[in-house]
């Protein structure tokens, strides 16, 4: 039986404004792909991201351009050559993974070569704000084991000091979203180390991170905007000690799994990351989160409501993906 493709965009309101160095958002705008075949429906969700030149209309058009191939039985392997890495390919790739699992009765994690799917503990993100407001947010989340702080302004050190005082036992990741200059990083890194920050994510603009070559940071640096696919890994390995692997950047679970394997071979730490989206986006990322050094799949926790059924969160713990959701 031939496949049938459905494409739509959805809006999911956030519980509160999500603020990073580049701006703020109040909703998650997601691209959803459904592929139906033989009574089964495979689903994938992605987030078009303006930082990478993407728009919702543009990514919907990319999926529509694949309609003939998809409805003719497109394989995941063939997809990699037909579409560039990005949101559209991610949504289609994850839908194909889900469809394969449902048609075969074999979970996606088994198809991915994982021995099992274990629960993972996720970071919880504190949006960029005043030191006082970030401290209050951290105080409310102080029982969570891992907090991720958005920075990108003149008061960055005060922000981290305030959060550390409010959540003295939490492990901290600082995420600059390209908001620092190299001199800022060198000035702040020692203080961040003394405040027991475990990782600094994407301190410099991706186009300017060549400055990091030869720099010995006292805190592990993690590539985010600088790392999309395997093609970026060799350069990242000279500049960073870790990489943030996101399905939207890699263009799907298929490439993301290979990014993780190659990153490990290069001795890099791995963060399993996400955009702000529903549990349908997080579900396939749970596979790359297995064994990751840092897991940042808190997107659904930032929403006013999530998809049902969704992932089950028990504090910071994310339980294995229900098959009714994905995979």
How many CB atoms lie under 10 A from the CB of residue 172?
23
- Which of 52, 42, 56, 53 is closest to 88 using CA atoms? 56
Choosing from 102, 121, 148, 150, the catalytic residue is 150
Bridge partners, 20 (sequence order)? 23
| φ/ψ bin of 252: left (φ > 0), alpha (ψ from -120 to 50), beta (otherwise) | left
SS3 12: strand
SS3 44: strand
Q: Please give the C-alpha separations between residue 203 and each of 45, 111, 135, 206, in angstroms, as whole numbers.
A: 28, 36, 21, 9
- Catalytic residue check, 246: yes
* Calpha distance 69→65 (Å, rounded): 9
Q: Please give the C-alpha separations between residue 257 and each of 21, 30, 52, 167, 284, in angstroms, as whole numbers.
A: 29, 22, 21, 33, 10
- Catalytic residue check, 308: no
Tokens of 243: 């990489």
Dihedral over alpha carbons 103, 109, 114, 119 (to 10 degrees): -150
* Calpha distance 309→270 (Å, rounded): 28
- Positions marked catalytic: 150, 246
């Amino acid at each position: 039986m031939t496949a049938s493709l459905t494409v739509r965009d959805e809006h999911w309101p956030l519980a509160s404004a999500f603020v990073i160095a580049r701006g703020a958002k109040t909703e998650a705008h997601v691209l959803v792909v459904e592929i139906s075949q033989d009574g089964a429906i495979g689903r994938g969700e992605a987030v078009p991201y303006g930082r990478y030149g993407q728009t919702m209309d543009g990514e919907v058009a990319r999926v529509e351009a694949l309609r003939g191939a998809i409805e003719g039985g497109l394989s995941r392997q063939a997809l990699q050559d037909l579409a560039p890495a990005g949101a559209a390919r991610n949504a289609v790739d994850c839908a194909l993974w889900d469809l394969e699992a449902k048609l075969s009765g074999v979970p996606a994690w088994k198809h991915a070569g994982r021995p099992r799917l274990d629960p993972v503990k996720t970071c919880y993100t504190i949006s960029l704000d005043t030191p006082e407001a970030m401290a209050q947010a951290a105080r409310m989340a102080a029982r969570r084991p891992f907090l991720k702080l958005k920075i990108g302004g003149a008061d960055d050190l005060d922000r981290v000091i305030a959060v550390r005082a409010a959540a003295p036992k939490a492990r901290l990741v600082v995420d600059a979203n390209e908001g620092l200059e190299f001199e800022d990083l060198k000035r702040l890194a020692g203080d961040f180390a003394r405040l027991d920050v475990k990782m600094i994510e994407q301190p410099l603009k991706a186009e300017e991170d060549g400055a990091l070559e030869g720099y010995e940071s006292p805190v592990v640096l993690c590539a985010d905007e600088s790392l999309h696919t395997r093609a970026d890994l060799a350069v990242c390995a000279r500049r960073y000690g870790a990489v943030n692997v996101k399905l939207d950047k890699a263009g799907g679970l298929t490439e993301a799994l290979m990014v993780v394997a190659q990153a490990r071979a290069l001795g890099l730490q791995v963060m399993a990351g996400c955009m702000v989206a529903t549990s349908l986006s997080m579900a396939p990322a749970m596979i790359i989160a297995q064994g990751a050094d840092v897991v940042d799949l808190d997107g659904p926790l930032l929403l006013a409501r999530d998809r049902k059924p969704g992932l089950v969160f028990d504090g910071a713990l994310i339980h294995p993906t229900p098959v009714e959701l994905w995979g």
